[in-house]
A and B are shown apart, each in its own frame.
Chain A
């Protein structure tokens, strides 16, 4: 089992030490030359940008998911139905749903056409092919991964604790902040990790909704394996950035522990 997890990583590591072939692929001699190029400021900027986009997406997911999960866990009658509704989009391909968003957001898309017909705007708003669109797509795609773990912790929360907080003078808002948030910490951390990691490596969303302008790590790696035909470099970037992600996650975790 463990082999299944790590064998692909070993293969990637192997490729990263080879020399690029003219038409893709890789061959000997062994070299660490690919690793030297990773630290080019151009690529570091892409890493930084990916981290920022992923952080923003995670933060927005958290802010949107917590009230939703809190509402479902504490007040909703049909909890199971609502949780199923949260996960319902997963039953369709992510690709198709991303195209649906593009259909909504593009210059000739539903939103711009309606706003123009109503006369609120004279020319289409730039809703697609920018960072905002990428973040929207990521938030949309990964929101359920934030809702579910937070819901799981809040659902186990003894409702008497929130009653007690209000009884002791906390408004519902402060009761949520002082009691529900700290006690949902495991769910918040799990959800943040589950959203942050796939956002950082996202490839499809920046490619389609960023229009190729918003290059993130996933696009960079993909580009090395396809257009640039530099497999060793693609492999090296993957591994170095994986290490970076790991470091960022550790930092984020410590930060979250202090914050909550």
Chain B
């Protein structure tokens, strides 16, 4: 075990695959929380694991952090297996969903906690590192506040600083935005993305919010019932999902005769060109959303089609006959039909 620990820090050259999961399975009595998941994270990327609650993404994170051990399979950090290595000797840090800030310690004491445990730094060095990281997350002036005296966003940044200051190989983030007000969540996720670019640390970000994942990730993976469904760039997953589940999880899909097409690719009107598909329909519902009007059209074969148009350009009536059309190449790949 010791040889492994030393190997992580000393002998293994830096490989580009900072984290690798090889056929990782985690079974709990009565169910398989993580089912044969394989995954590679490259150094410096912002990677998201996204899926509905109970899909196994948080269990996966706990396996990487070392809080649980996989039933089978292997986890490699910098090319070295970390199986059996406890969390306190793994060079990964976690930002917890609840932040898990120590309530009896101030912001800077929270951040200093991990540095003090490592025994590598003098008091002065710790103070300097803490000051620098708190400046990075814009918490100057809040150093001596206790967690109960901080706002939600500030707590989240203390949790980030506490994990970042250890310069982990991988930073694990377990739904770090879910406890924040929806109004500031979008701002903070952009801050998070910027911060990640700035510090260059690999992020493994867990969220159930597909929009959030797409907005921040270099690459992402969709999980369902413990299985990894698909991994890749957000655009790829959105445009070329490999399953109806991924297609529907990442956005709305109109299923028309076994073909999937995203609402933003459908237009009102008909187009006679051969690389377009046009269908007759009837307006079945109209929803005004301010910046756009959502039209629900009922096709002659009974399929529903959602179309988004600019409100000002259309004088639509319920029951009105319309045509809908889309480009063939905007259709999603073929796979078994809707869920």
Query: Which residues of A approach B to under 8 Å, CB–CB?
Result: 158, 160-161, 163-172, 174-175, 178-179, 182-183
Contact = CB atoms under 8 A, between A and B. Distances in A.
Interface of B: 65, 67, 86-89, 92-94, 96-98, 100-104, 113-114, 117-118, 162-163, 166
B338 to A, nearest CB: 38
A183 B104 contact: yes
B88 A161 contact: no
Contact of A169 (B65, B67, B118): B118
A166 B98 contact: no
A163 B104 contact: no
Contact of B117 (A160, A161, A168, A172): A168
A172 B66 CA distance: 13
Nearest to A162: B100
Contact of B88 (A160, A171, A183): A171
Given A169-B88, A169-B166, A170-B88, A164 B102 contact: yes
Nearest to B97: A160
Contacts of A167: 65, 67, 87-88, 92-94, 163
Contacts of B113: 165, 168, 170, 178
Nearest to B117: A169
B96 A168 contact: no
9 contacts: A158-B100, A160-B100, A164-B100, A164-B101, A164-B102, A165-B113, A167-B67, A168-B113, A171-B86
A163 B100 contact: yes
A84 to B, nearest CB: 25
Contacts of B100: 158, 160-161, 163-164
The 7 tightest CB contacts between A and B, nearest first, are A168-B114, A169-B117, A164-B100, A160-B100, A166-B87, A182-B104, A167-B94
Nearest to A161: B100
B329 to A, nearest CB: 47
Contacts of A179: 102
Nearest to A182: B104
Contact of A170 (B92, B94, B117): B117
B319 to A, nearest CB: 55
Contact of B103 (A174, A178, A183): A183
Nearest to A174: B117
A158 B103 CA distance: 11
Nearest to A160: B100
A165 B118 CA distance: 12
Nearest to B67: A163
Nearest to B168: A167
